[in-house]
Chains A and B, each alone.
Chain A
């Protein structure tokens, strides 16, 4: 396939959107609470399995199923923060990491018991379709991923800037004591922030499930990609997460184009290492 660079370019951008969407929740929880949520990838995959079940057993369209999966993951996120993480933080700064790891294991194994270790996917008429730019074909699912990622990122940015709750979350992440003195109930705010991050995880899970096949242990692989996105884009910046996702997507597709598919993930991680070495706080990090 001679000098056709448009394919890896478009695919890289669209794929990058999905990576950004997956990483958004990880970035937000770290930005607000300084918590590295090692269970993030598995929570996303939980979202994928929830959507998959609703399609398989109730015939519900995956996008429609968000009406159910979002509240479930929202509530789960709130409970995890309020009843597990809050107590873990009071014990030590490492305890939350261990708890998150534990949650990851519980999710992986529960899902495996329920669904078996075999690969599954969420397939609908439109998720299998493709669209054309000129003479080139691209998967519709990739385009949906990108558009949804963009919408979610913009929605989160507006929420954090324009609503009282969003501003309270931002303030609490910059100076907890000052926020408390402004009348912000930081105990409750952190729970809501985690829950809101899980909204993006639910959405990411559904669209991920429509784009790639997945298994109960897929969460780990996407956690690592999310980490890479957040390291490149910078912790605490939503825009940075989006750009980081795009960069990662493009590195993956272009290295696959020039050097073959085996090289893809190698170059992705090399990029992450380079960013860590040159600019550890990430491109947009604070």
Chain B
């Protein structure tokens, strides 16, 4: 795992209408790392992910991916470049089958040629999805739906995967299982940025983390560094 930057977010301000959600955010995502974005509900984590994905555009600042300026790019072009977001809330296509959901994942032209191969890979990572491939997506359990949206994201051959609040509403056993699979995914060369409210879990599972508070970066560092931080200990571990 190198120190080379894959995604550079530089001093961005993001607004929802006239309400400012992010202030002067600078974040660096390095190649092949597992990066956590931690913070409470209103911290602005989802806003940041939506901005990276192009659903929102910053009023100030720049975003660069592999050196290329993507600040004002349309969402579908950002997916084409290799950034795929797994949004919060397990947003499956409810009326389509598991297989149909996965196949939508290979919609970007670049990913279509390898769709059969990628499907095999997804089935290997998540055998339950293979079992249930003809089932209508809305009938799957919460954990299975989460696996489905991650699998669907993988079908687009991302270089960077953004995962928003994956563990909400899932049992700890299921969450652990999915994090194990994320490790395998990372080992295949994909960089992962995940967003979580659970601080302990996030620091445990990541190489580095950023902590957001009220739309600003409060802290950043490796897991070891953060565990030593007084503020982290006090605020989140109750020490």
Q: How many A-B residue pairs have CB under 8 A?
A: 67
A257-278 interface code vs B (CB 8 A; 1 in, 0 out): 0000000000000000000000
Smallest CB separation, B169 vs chain A (Å): 17
Question: Does residue B84 face the partner (Cβ distance < 8 Å to A)?
Answer: yes
Q: How large is the interface on A (under 10, 10 to 19, 20 to 34, 35 or more residues)?
A: 10 to 19
CB distance from B123 to the nearest CB of A (A): 19
* B residues contacting the other copy or chain, number (CB 8 A): 25
User: In the complex, what's the smallest C-beta–C-beta distance from A168 to chain B, in angstroms?
Assistant: 6
* A residues lining the B interface (CB < 8 Å): 161, 164, 167-168, 170-171, 174-175, 177-186, 286
Report chain A residues within 8 Å CB of B53.
180-181
Give the chain A neighbours of B108 by CB distance below 8 A.
182-183
Instruction: Report how far A185 CA is from B53 CA in the complex, Å.
Output: 13
Asked whether A180 lies within 8 Å of B76 as measured between CB atoms, the reply is yes
Cα(A200)–Cα(B86), bound, Å: 36
Q: Report B80-96 residues with CB < 8 Å from chain A CB.
A: 80, 84-85, 87, 91-96
- B residues neighboring A (CB under 8 Å): 53, 55, 74-76, 79-80, 84-85, 87, 91-96, 100, 103-105, 107-108, 112, 152, 156
Q: Which residues of B contact A185 (CB under 8 A)?
A: 74, 76
* With contact pairs A164-B112, A167-B100, A177-B55 given, residues A182 and B95 touching in the complex (Cβ less than 8 Å): no
Which of chain A's residues have a CB closer than 8 A to the CB of B107? 164, 167-168, 182-184
Q: List 11 A-B contacts (CB under 8 A).
A: A164-B112, A167-B96, A170-B96, A174-B94, A174-B95, A182-B84, A182-B107, A182-B108, A183-B108, A184-B76, A185-B76
Query: How far apart are the CA atoms of A286 and B108 in the complex, in Å?
Result: 28
A174 and B156 in contact, given A183-B79, A183-B80 (Cβ under 8 angstroms): no
